[in-house]
Amino acid sequence: MIQFVWLWAFLFLPLPWIIHRLLPRAANRDASLYVPFFKSLSTIEKTAPKIGARNRLIAVLAILSWLLLVTAASRPQWVGEPIQLPTTGRDLMLAVDISGSMEAQDIQLGGQNATRLQVVKSVVGDFVERRTGDRLGLILFAARAYTQAPLTFDRETVETLLYEAEIGIIEENATAIGDAIGLGVKHLRERPEASRILILLTDGVNNAGEVSPTQAGDLAARENIKIYTIGIGADASSSNSLFGPRTINPSADLDEDSLTQIAVNTGGQYFRARDREELENIYGLLDELEPVEQEAETFRPTSALFYWPLGIAAALSFLIALLRMPWGILFAGGRQSATAQNPATEESSMEVKA
């Protein structure tokens, strides 16, 4: 169907008539024009279209052109059939830790040691690809928390932004887990209650930000937001050195108690990822969350049509300009050239009074 966005533009239709009625007519004055080829002009006048008929045609074209210009100004557009958007999934905010500790190479990827962030990108990227029908958002946090992507159906963009995340783009010397949860709550609180889910992944302890993880978790619980927390990092291992057995614990800073408490208080679950396989299994379990029906949303594609009446009006204006040209003078010019070649032709200069 065709719709007019600015329907009020049609109020300008009577504007030329109003101007014609209000403005005074031009005064009639005698004018004279010396025409050296009066006889030729009088001959051509007999074969040219009648001036009255031509003026009526010009008036009709002018009115039609004005109607088309007003129609173009009203912004006509074609509105297509409604298209239903995929709204049967959930609203998932992904909060990913990119603090300096995520640079630790204690997990293998493809048979080689890789940073924790590289492993997270590999696993979470696959998770994002599988979330057909879900709205996804991305929060990156270190010493501060930032929204990298709001909730959107555009999974490709979310995945790209995740892959582009690098350690150091945010102050990396601290971890603001509470602020990341609070930012997730801000994005999810307006969504349908049964579909509000925050998945938070970190390898450390909260030591920055304005809100503590416990306070942020309580706020999420009040807003019916379910939080799944994931602690990443290898287990402690022993090795022999010159000074005897030595114990190395890459995950010594991981605050599992707080992450567990946040997940339990909000109805979620805490997971521990010590390697890539465990992390894949965790996101596989998250894939099993049942989708929740939401209100149907539709989209109607639109395309602008204003250029059609505007183009036709421009063509009519060009035609009006052609019709208003002095046909007699144009033809007289040709006759005058022929007369110059025939000395027998008699021309006289006369004064024509209008």
The domain spans of the chain are 2-21+29-80+302-353, 91-295
* Residue 282 Cα distances to 199, 226, 231, 242, angstroms: 11, 16, 11, 39
Work out the pLDDT band at 326, boundaries 50, 70, 90. low
Q: Is 80 exceeded by the pLDDT of residue 12?
A: yes
Work out the pLDDT band at 320, boundaries 50, 70, 90. confident
Q: Is 90 exceeded by the pLDDT of residue 334?
A: no
- Check whether domain 91-295 has CATH 2.40.50.140, yes or no: no
Q: What percent of the chain has pLDDT over 70?
A: 77
Higher per-residue pLDDT: 300 or 284: 284
Task: Look at the pTM and tell me if it is higher than 0.85.
Answer: no
Alpha-carbon distance 226 to 265, whole Å? 9
Q: Are the C-beta atoms of residues 175 and 208 closer than 8 Å to each other?
A: yes
How high does pLDDT run on average in the chain?
Answer: 81
Higher per-residue pLDDT: 336 or 271: 271
pLDDT at 33: 55
Cα angle vertex 145, ends 142, 149, to 5°?
120
Work out the pLDDT band at 34, boundaries 50, 70, 90. low
Give 261's DSSP letter: H
DSSP secondary structure letters along 208-260: SSSS-HHHHHHHHHHTT-EEEEEEE-PPPEEEEETTEEEEE-TTTT--HHHHH
Work out the pLDDT band at 204, boundaries 50, 70, 90. confident
DSSP secondary structure letters along 52-64: HHHHHHHHHHHHH
Q: Which of these ranges, 91-105, 107-121, 183-197, 229-243, has the smallest mean pLDDT?
A: 229-243
pLDDT at 26: 64
| The pair of three-digit structure tokens given for residue 97, joined into one six-digit string | 């830790």
Closest to 96 in 3D by CA, of 23, 170, 155: 170
Q: Express each pLDDT in 144-194 by its tens digit.
A: 999 999 999 899 999 999 999 999 898 878 899 999 999 999 999 988 877
Question: For residue 68, what is the enclosing H or E element?
Answer: helix 51-73
Alpha-carbon distance 23 to 38, whole Å? 36
Q: Is 90 exceeded by the pLDDT of residue 349?
A: no
Q: For 6, left (φ over 0), alpha (ψ -120 to 50), or beta?
A: beta
* Residue 255 Cα distances to 83, 203, 207, angstroms: 47, 8, 11
Alpha-carbon distance 319 to 304, whole Å? 26
Please tell me whether residue 37 adopts helix, strand or coil conformation: coil
Work out the pLDDT band at 348, boundaries 50, 70, 90. very low
Q: Express each pLDDT in 225-259 by its tens digit.
A: 999 999 998 876 555 555 555 656 677 788 899 99
Residues in contact with 300: Cβ distance below 8 Å, sequence separation at least 6, in sequence order: 79, 80, 81, 82, 83
Please tell me whether residue 135 adopts helix, strand or coil conformation: strand
Q: Are the C-beta atoms of residues 11 and 313 closer than 8 Å to each other?
A: no
Q: How many CA atoms lie within 13 A of 299 on its CB side?
A: 5
